[in-house]
Amino acid sequence: MAGEERRFKIGYALLPKKENSFIRESLVNQAKSRGIDLVKIDRERPLVDQGPFDCVLHKLYGEDWKSQLEDFRSRNPGAVIIDSPDAIERLHNRISMLQVVSELKIENQSETFGIPKQIVIYDQETLFDKQAWELLKFPVIAKPLVADGSAKSHKMALVFNHEGLNKLKPPIVLQEFVNHGGVIFKVYVVGEYVKCVKRKSLPDVSEEKLNSLEGSLPFSQVSNLATHEKSDDKYYKMMHLEDTELPPQSFMTDIAKGLRRAMNLNLFNFDVIRDTRFGNRYLIIDINYFPGYAKMPGYETVLTDFFCDIMNRKEREVVVVEKH
């Protein structure tokens, strides 16, 4: 029918927990009002038998899903897949995840960025080999090498001395713990959009305190750390999150753009800390694919804008092809 608005269908394939937090009525309605229908993909049926979809939005892993996407793409060459499974896979390994940071070239006179010193330990033997440790000194953060979003991949520990190594199970990444004023910055990226927020993090560890601490302290995600020490409650009350200055927005945007291009991903966030030894040095400690966007104020508008951008770009490409 002439003049009828073209509607776009975005199929989404997410695990139940992600779906519950992300696909809210408020998002579905806002997208609908702008010509985009969000449709749940039935994971019990082959993807190629569903749709038609202009775009597939997903956060599922595994060889079966990957081959379903490839099959779908070969039959629907015009459809957009957000994002490519191969590009996402790079973030499942905590070493390859941060390699991309060292490849970035960003011109900035006043701020610098990098990653903490880190080593990967594949077996128990290397864990207790002093030579393997030459790069690092305590305290260190021990993180599982695999970062696939599972509960297990979030289990970390702050290790204060060699005794604390006993509880660790390789393969793991050991990352130097850098004092950062107890605040972590989470930078959310949705296509061109970049938003930086502050969260509480692990308290600083002084040289004196280090000597009196036992072995290690387990925790899950740094930003929602709940330790059992009463002294830390006092520490958090003293530490006013609102007094912490955010990193310069333009600097974070430049890093986000660089990462987006280098990783070929649209939906991710990265965790940044400010190294208290140098006020203008920032360290990227983690990158996550398709994070909890619903925690971001007004996420519905941000995501709907992104969907519209993707669809508009797709339409422009179709027009260009037709002209040829």
Strands of the sheet with 8-14, listed across from one edge: 36-40, 8-14, 55-59, 80-82
Chain position carrying tokens 């830390």: 232
Do 198 and 304 lie in a common domain? no
Provide the domain limits for residue 62. 8-83+300-322
Asked whether residue 30 is marked as a ligand-binding residue, the answer is no
CATH of the domain at 78: 3.40.50.11370
DSSP for residue 19: H
Q: What is the pLDDT of residue 1?
A: 43
Asked whether residue 183 is marked as a ligand-binding residue, the answer is yes
Burial 169-197 (b: 16+ CB within 10 A, else e): ebebbbbbbbbbbbbbbbbbbbbebbbbe
Task: Please give the Cα distance from 8 to 5 (Å, whole number).
Answer: 10
Q: Is residue 164 part of a domain?
A: yes
Q: What is the pLDDT of residue 213?
A: 79
SS3 270: strand
Q: What is the pLDDT of residue 228?
A: 40
Do 51 and 198 lie in a common domain? no
Q: Is residue 294 part of a domain?
A: no
Asked whether residue 143 is marked as a ligand-binding residue, the answer is yes
Do 210 and 312 lie in a common domain? no
Q: Is residue 3 part of a domain?
A: no
CATH of the domain at 251: 3.30.470.20
Asked whether residue 198 is marked as a ligand-binding residue, the answer is no
Q: What is the pLDDT of residue 323?
A: 45
Do 195 and 142 lie in a common domain? yes
Distance of CA 92 to the CA centre of its chain: 10
Asked whether residue 324 is marked as a ligand-binding residue, the answer is no
Do 212 and 176 lie in a common domain? yes
Q: Is residue 2 part of a domain?
A: no
Do 19 and 142 lie in a common domain? no
Asked whether residue 323 is marked as a ligand-binding residue, the answer is no
Asked whether residue 114 is marked as a ligand-binding residue, the answer is no
Asked whether residue 164 is marked as a ligand-binding residue, the answer is no
Could you tell me if 175 and 116 are in contact, meaning their C-beta atoms sit under 8 angstroms apart? yes
Q: What is the pLDDT of residue 129?
A: 86
* pLDDT under 70: residue ranges of the chain: 1-4, 220-240, 318-324
Asked whether residue 302 is marked as a ligand-binding residue, the answer is no
Asked whether residue 177 is marked as a ligand-binding residue, the answer is yes
Asked whether residue 230 is marked as a ligand-binding residue, the answer is no
Asked whether residue 162 is marked as a ligand-binding residue, the answer is no
Task: Please give the Cα distance from 128 to 125 (Å, whole number).
Answer: 6
Asked whether residue 233 is marked as a ligand-binding residue, the answer is no
Asked whether residue 175 is marked as a ligand-binding residue, the answer is yes
pLDDT in tens, 142-187: 999 998 877 788 889 999 988 888 889 999 999 999 999 999 999 9
Q: What is the pLDDT of residue 224?
A: 46
Measured in degrees and rounded to the nearest 5, phi and psi for residue 266 equal -105, -30
Q: Is residue 295 part of a domain?
A: no
Number of domains in the chain: 2
Do 60 and 108 lie in a common domain? no
Asked whether residue 59 is marked as a ligand-binding residue, the answer is yes
Asked whether residue 40 is marked as a ligand-binding residue, the answer is no
Do 163 and 253 lie in a common domain? yes
% of the chain surpassing 70 pLDDT: 90
Q: Is residue 264 part of a domain?
A: yes
Asked whether residue 82 is marked as a ligand-binding residue, the answer is no
Asked whether residue 286 is marked as a ligand-binding residue, the answer is yes
Q: What is the pLDDT of residue 192?
A: 95
Q: Is residue 109 part of a domain?
A: yes
Do 144 and 230 lie in a common domain? yes
Q: What is the pLDDT of residue 194?
A: 97
Asked whether residue 11 is marked as a ligand-binding residue, the answer is no
Asked whether residue 130 is marked as a ligand-binding residue, the answer is no
Task: Please give the Cα distance from 46 to 72 (Å, whole number).
Answer: 9
Q: Is residue 94 part of a domain?
A: yes
Asked whether residue 185 is marked as a ligand-binding residue, the answer is yes
Do 73 and 121 lie in a common domain? no
Asked whether residue 146 is marked as a ligand-binding residue, the answer is no
Do 126 and 212 lie in a common domain? yes
